[in-house]
Amino acid sequence: MLADKARTVKKGKKIIVLFSLLIFFQNIANTFALGEVSSYEGLRSSWNEIFPDGNRNAAGAKFFKYILEKENNFEKFTESNKLYCAVSGSLIKPGKKPHNIYLNDFETNEKICGDYYACCWPCLCDVMLYSKINRTTIHFEGNAETVHAITIDNPCEKNYFPEEINREYFCSGSEINTDSVKEISGRLVIGYLHNAITCSSDKILQIDNDRFTGKLCSVRNNIPIDKLDFGMGDIFIKLAN
């Protein structure tokens, strides 16, 4: 009987420990959720400051620059970069799950896999087809952090800049307007790739076979630009192509 009692007490202690751990991790999750909500509301309330004319078309770059200047804490910077779509420029509500994508590294051309937060699946196709990764070092609270920035070619050299987009946000003449957006190696930063790592062959295969990044993107990427009428349509593509 004593042995049975000891086993019961031991089992009870394990349950208490597991319950305590569950509460601990739930509190952590709640803290992050509240942080995302606060960051989301901050971006939403700053909409007119970020977009003075209200035009956010393809202006994820404006969000990136704004967050970079406002957040000196790397974790807050990272969390805030989950709350907008780099392709469309639209806000994304807290809690939305990311999609796995890969982009080519601008310097090495190796495939970099990571998490991308999109407002809709067509933006996944567009960012994968027209963007690259530029790795850069940014200091947050004195600590150097590697940021995998999502970039596109300098759009300011185009003869025909998309009329749906506010050119002044991005350009000063034929140069990137660094007072308004971030530039790396002559390329325009439009967003942030989360949890970025060099792709394994298995990960590439998984992304290529995914319903969205594989099958649907294969269809979208073969539609002529003038026939695209869903997602951001041809607006971002005209900017990035």
Q: How many residues does the chain have?
A: 241
Pick from 230, 237, 203, 229: which is nearest to 131 by CA?
237
So where are the chain's domains?
Answer: 46-240
pLDDT value at residue 39: 80
Mean pLDDT of 21-33: 42
CA distance 157 to 104: 22
Q: CA-to-CA distance for 238 and 212, rounded, in angstroms?
A: 22
Name which of 18-32, 37-51, 107-121 the model is least confident about.
18-32
CA distance 65 to 190: 9
**Helix H or strand E encompassing 138:** strand 132-140
Cβ contacts of residue 155 below 8 Å, gap of 6+?
A: 161, 170, 171, 188, 239, 240
pLDDT by residue (tens digit) across 81-137?
999 999 999 999 999 999 999 999 999 999 999 999 999 999 999 999 999 999 999
